[in-house]
Amino acid sequence: MSSNPANLIDNDVLLEQALRCDARSPRLDKLQLGHLRHIENLAARPDGDWSLMGTADPGQEWLDAYRYQLAKMVYALGLAHYHRLPAAPCIFQPLMQTLIRKMLRRDVWGYWKETSQSGPFLDPGLTELRAPWIDPVVKENIMYSGHLHAMTGMYAVLFDDDRYAQPGALTFVHQPIFYGLGPQTFEYDFRKINDTIYWQMVENGWLGVACEPNCIFLICNQFPMLGFRFHDLRHGTQLAEEATSSYRAAWQQKGMLDEHGHFQYFWRQKQDVFFSPGRAMSDTWLGAVMNAWNSEMIQSLAPAQATDWFKHHADGTVSLRPPTVVKARREALAAGTARPADEDTTYNFGAPEFGYAVIWASELGNQPLLDGLLAHADLYMDPTWADGGLYYPRHDASWDAEGHMRYMDPLTGNALIAYGRLNVANGLRTLYEKPWDARHFEQPVVSAISPGFDLLRARFDAETQALALTFSPRKPGLQSFSLTIDRVDAGRRCLVLRDGAQVDRESVGMRVEDGNMTLAFDLNGSTDMILAWELQ
C-alpha cells in the first residue's frame, strides 16, 4: 500500500475482485431492456386504460384476457429480477405491485359472474343455468385465483415482503353504478387464497380445481403448485410436497397424456371425459410451468412433442405447424401413405400458441428452438418500438401472402415473448428449488435510481464482495444521475471502477451514511461501474 495523490485505493486484491465480478456479470441486451420498458409502459397507464392489451373477445373469457397478460408480465419481471438484475429491487418491486393492483380491478375478474352460471359447452346436457356468484376466488375459477396465488407468492419470496399476506390485502370490490343493492367486498389475502385453493384440491381428490364450471384444465392447476411452494417459504408450511405428490399420484391413475404422448387440455368432471383440441399449447403452456416441480417428466416428453409441433425453415426460423397438419401427418404415417403438405394456410390460430412455445423453449433450455422462434417473430411478426419499449402488435390474420405465420395476440406480444427472452434455462425451476435465502437480503442492492435512466446490470457477487452496475440514460446528452445503494458496510474500504478505470470517491459523489451509499455524477451515455469491498 502506498500514498496516492488521487485518493485511489492501491490494492491488487480489491482490483482483482472487481475485475472478476465484472467478467461474470452480463448486461441486459437491447431487446431484453426493451421488453422491460414495454411492461413498465403498460403498468404506468391509468387504471382502466388497457391500450395495446385489448383482445378480440369482449368478455375477458379467452386465452389472452387481461388476467393472463398481467400474470405473465409479473412472472417475466420476477424471473428477470432473480436471474438478470438481482440487485435491483427498485426496478421490479413497484412494477409488480402495480400489476398485482391492476389484477384486482373488476374489469379483470368481473367475467366470473357470468361464467359461474356454466353452459352446455362446459357441461354437456345442462338444461338450466346455475345460480351465479360474484366472488372470483371462493370456488372454481382457478384460471384467475391460481395466478393471483402465484403472483403474490412470488412477490413475497423475491422481496422478503409479506404485504399481501395481511388480512384484506387482496380485496375485491363489486360496485356497479346502475345495478345491485350496494357495493360488495370480498376480502382475501395470500394465505386465505392459499387455504381456499388447498381445500378445493383436497375435495377434488387432488385432480385440481375447475377453471370454468365442470372443467379442470391441467395447465391452470400448475400455478397453485408455485403458490404452495411460495407459501411454504414464507409461512413455514409443508404444502408443496403434499400438493405435488398427491397431484402426481391422482393423475398417474387418471392419465394426463393422450394416445400420442401429448398432454390433455381439460377434463369434464361430470362426464369423466377429456377435451383436447390437439394444439401445441397443451404441451408448451403446461410444460413451461410444470418444469418447476416435475422437470424429469417434462424434459423426457419434450423431444417427441417438439417433433410434432415445430416446423424448422431453411433460413433458421421456426414456426408452428397447424394442428390440421399435425393430424394429417399422423394419419398418413399410420396409413403408410405419402406425407401431406407441411402448411395449411386455411387454418386460423386464434390463441397464444406461439408465445407459449417461446416460454417452453426458454424454460426447457432448448436454445436452438428458442432462437428460431424469436427469429421468426422478429422477421414476420412486426416487432415495434414505442417509448423505449419493445412489443409485437396484435395481428389477427394467421398468414401473410407468402404463407408465413403472422398471427399475434396481445398476450404473446406484450408478455410471453418478453418472458422467453428474460428467462434462462430452467429459470422457473431454479427459483422454485433455490430461492434466495436470508443472506441475499443482507447484500447491497440498488434501492433508488434517478428517473429517466435504465439499469442494464445490477448484480452483487458474494464471492468477490463486489457489485456490478451498468446505467444508461433514456435520452441522449449529459445528464445528472444519482442512485442509492442500501445495506452497505461503511467500515470497509470500497474500490470503485468506472468504465474499467479506478476512480476516487469524490468523482462519483460517493456518500455513505447509516448503511446507505449514494452516488451522484454527470452521465453521458451508458456507463459501467464496479464497487468492490474488502473481504471480511
- pLDDT tens across 116-128, in order? 999 999 999 999 9
Digit-by-digit pLDDT tens for the chain (536 residues) are: 344 445 677 788 899 999 999 999 999 999 999 999 999 999 999 999 999 999 989 999 999 999 999 999 999 999 999 999 999 999 999 999 999 999 999 999 999 999 999 999 999 999 999 999 999 999 999 999 999 999 999 999 999 999 999 999 999 999 999 999 899 999 999 999 999 999 999 999 999 999 999 999 999 999 999 999 999 999 999 999 999 999 999 999 999 999 999 999 999 999 999 999 899 999 999 999 999 999 999 999 999 999 999 999 999 999 999 999 999 999 898 899 988 877 899 999 999 999 999 999 999 999 999 999 999 999 999 999 999 999 999 999 999 999 999 999 999 999 999 999 999 999 999 999 999 999 999 999 999 999 999 999 999 999 999 999 999 999 999 999 999 999 999 889 999 999 999 999 999 999 999 999 999 999 999 999 999 999 87
In the chain, residues under CATH classification 2.60.40 are 12-21+445-533
> How crowded is residue 236: how many other Cβ atoms within 10 Å of its Cβ?
7
- How confident is the model at residue 6, as a pLDDT? 54
* Contact predicate 230/156, CB 8 Å: yes
**Amino acid (1-letter code) at residue 481:** F
d(CA 286, CA 220): 8
Distance of alpha carbon 72 from the chain centroid? 4
- List Cα–Cα distances, 178 to 175, 485, 488, in angstroms: 9, 50, 55
* Contact predicate 201/222, CB 8 Å: no
Chain segment 425-477, per-residue pLDDT in tens: 999 999 999 999 999 999 999 999 999 999 999 999 999 999 999 999 999 99
Place of cell 422478503: 160
Place of cell 433508488: 448
* Contact predicate 33/88, CB 8 Å: no
Q: Is 168 helix (H, G, I), strand (E, B) or coil?
A: coil
- List Cα–Cα distances, 226 to 149, 206, 430, 432, in angstroms: 8, 15, 12, 7
Sign of CA dihedral 60, 61, 62, 65: positive
Task: Quote the radius of gyration of the chain (alpha carbons, Å).
Answer: 25
- How confident is the model at residue 5, as a pLDDT? 46
> Could you tell me which CATH class the domain 12-21+445-533 is placed in?
mainly beta
* Contact predicate 484/448, CB 8 Å: yes
d(CA 509, CA 150): 41
Nearest to 408 by CA among 386, 390, 388, 391: 391
Place of cell 401445441: 280
Nearest to 411 by CA among 72, 98, 108, 145: 72
Question: Could you give the residue ranges of the DSSP H alpha helices within 170-238?
Answer: 190-203, 223-235
Mean pLDDT taken over the chain? 96
Nearest to 279 by CA among 264, 289, 269: 264
* Contact predicate 73/389, CB 8 Å: no
